[in-house]
Amino acid sequence: MKKLYVLVALAMLAFTVNAKNAFLLLESSISNLPEEMSQTELGDIAENPEQNAANWYKAQFVDKSLGVFISTSEISSALANGISCIWVNIDRQGLADIKDAGISDGVIADLKAYVEAGGNLFLTKQACKIAHRIDRIYDPSWGSDGYSVGGDIWSINPQVGLWWTLAESRRDNSEHPIYADIDTIQVYSATMTDGEPATPYGTFPLVGMVPRCDRNIAWLDYFRKDPENPTQALSADDAVARGIETHYANDNPLRLPDFEEDWNVTVIGIWGHVQDFCGGVIVEMHPDEDFNGTVFAIGASAYQWGSSNDYIGNIKKMTKNALGYLTAPETAVENVELDANVQGIYNIFGQKVETMQAGQIYIVNGKKVLR
C-alpha cells in the first residue's frame, strides 16, 4: 500500500508548477554562530556544520532559483507561496533544547499547521526533535558527545533486520530515492541466525576517520503507540495492564512492523554496523488522517556537514536526493506515468480528497484535471 501511494504521489507531483523547497533560517542566525574548535590528534579543527549546510543550499538551490531561505515568521505562509518542503537543520554542540536554537512554541505551532495542511518537513540532526514537538511521533533519543577521531567509517545500513533469515522480516531500502548515486562500502559482515556463513553487505559511508561529532538523534526503542493517547508512546506499565507488548528485543521480527504500523512510518536506514532491527536514524513519517504532509528525519551522527568530512560528497548527494524526493520537481519524476486504474480524487501532494477547490490541479481517476 505504501509503495502504491508513493507512485501515485510522484505521478501527481510531476504536474506541480514552480514547486520549491526552503531552508529555514533560525532566529539565532546561523551566520553568527561561532565556529567549534576541537583539539584532536589531527590538530585544531574549526567546524560550523549549520553554516556549511546553509552555504551549500544557497549555491545549489537559492542561487539557481530552485529554493529559498525563509525566516520563522514566514512558515505560516510557506505553503500558500508554493513551498512544498521546508528543511530544518540544527547541529550544535552543547545544545540542551531546540528552543535554544530558535524553535519556540510559536514556531512549532506554525510547523505543525504546515504539515497538517500538506507541507513536507525535512529534519536533520537535532531538528529531528521537531517531529515529536508537533505530535507526529514520540520523543527520539538525544545524544551529544563532542568531537573525537575514530578508527572506523560511520555509515548508514539500508538493510533493516539483515541477519534475520525470515525474508518477510528483512527489508532492503537501498533503492530508496535518497540513496541514489551514493557509493557503498563493504566493511561489515552479517552472521545469519540459522548458522549460514557471514556475508558482506553494503552500507552508505557518510563520514570517515576524521574529527567528527557524535550527535545522534534516533528512535532507538521502537515503542508502540498508546491507543488512548495517540501522540505518545505506550508506557511499560500500561502495556502490562492491557496485555500489549510494548518493547521487543532488537532481534525480534515483530519489532519493526509493529513500530511502523503503529506510527505509520518506515525506517529507511539504521547505523552501518547494526544488523538487527535497532536504531531508526533515517525515518520517513507518512501522511495520515491528521498530517497531510510527510516528515522525513535524518538524525545519524554520520550526517555531518563538517569541512573536515572526507565523505562530504555523499552528505551532499543524500541531502539533494531527500529535497528532491520531498519537493518532487518535474525533473525527478518525468518518467512516471499516471495509473488510470487508481480511482478517486487526489491533490498534488498525493492525498485523497472528497471535493475539489477552484484553481487547483487534481488527479481524477488517473487523469490530470484543473478545477
DSSP assignment of 126-173: GGGHHHHHTTSSPPPEE----EEE-SS-EEEE-EETTT---GGG-EE-
Higher pLDDT, 146 or 229: 229
Higher pLDDT, 322 or 19: 322
Alpha carbon distance 69, 287 (integer Å): 25
8 Å CB contact between 224 and 244: yes
Residues in the chain: 371
pLDDT band at 27, cuts 50/70/90? Answer: low
pLDDT for position 336: 29
Question: In the chain, what percentage of residues exceed pLDDT 70?
Answer: 68
What residue type is 190 in one-letter code? A
Tens of pLDDT, residue by residue over 233-247, are 887 777 778 877 666
8 Å CB contact between 350 and 288: no
Contacts of 1 by beta carbon, 8 Å cutoff, 6+ apart: none
Decide if pLDDT at 253 tops 50.
yes
8 Å CB contact between 295 and 131: yes
pLDDT for position 290: 92
Q: What does the pLDDT average to over 261-282?
A: 84
What residue type is 360 in one-letter code? Q
8 Å CB contact between 158 and 172: yes
Question: In the chain, what percentage of residues exceed pLDDT 90?
Answer: 32
End-to-end CA distance of the chain: 28
pLDDT for position 40: 54
pLDDT for position 265: 92
- Helix/strand/coil for 269: strand
* C-alpha grid cell, residue 328: 518532487
pLDDT for position 332: 32
Tens of pLDDT, residue by residue over 322-348, are 999 999 643 333 322 344 445 677 665
Lowest mean pLDDT among 23-32, 300-309, 325-334: 325-334
Contacts of 229 by beta carbon, 8 Å cutoff, 6+ apart: none
8 Å CB contact between 251 and 164: yes
Please, what is the average pLDDT of the chain? Answer: 77
8 Å CB contact between 159 and 153: no
What residue type is 328 in one-letter code? A
* C-alpha grid cell, residue 365: 481517476
pLDDT band at 166, cuts 50/70/90? Answer: low
8 Å CB contact between 13 and 26: no
Alpha carbon distance 69, 58 (integer Å): 8
Higher pLDDT, 230 or 285: 285
Decide if pLDDT at 352 tops 90.
no
pLDDT for position 177: 94
Q: Given the DSSP bridges, would you call strands 147-149 and 154-157 parallel, antiparallel or unpaired?
A: unpaired
In order of their start, the domains of the chain are: 20-150+212-327 (3.40.50)
pLDDT for position 330: 36
Decide if pLDDT at 100 tops 70.
yes
Higher pLDDT, 328 or 3: 328
| Rg value, the chain, Cα | 21
Q: What is the DSSP letter of 280?
A: B
DSSP assignment of 288-357: -SS--S-EEEE--TT----TT-TTHHHHHHHHHHHHHHHH--GGGSTTPPP-TT--SEE-TTS-EESS--
- Helix/strand/coil for 298: strand
* C-alpha grid cell, residue 274: 547494526
pTM of the model as a whole? 0.78
pLDDT band at 104, cuts 50/70/90? Answer: very high
* C-alpha grid cell, residue 218: 534516533
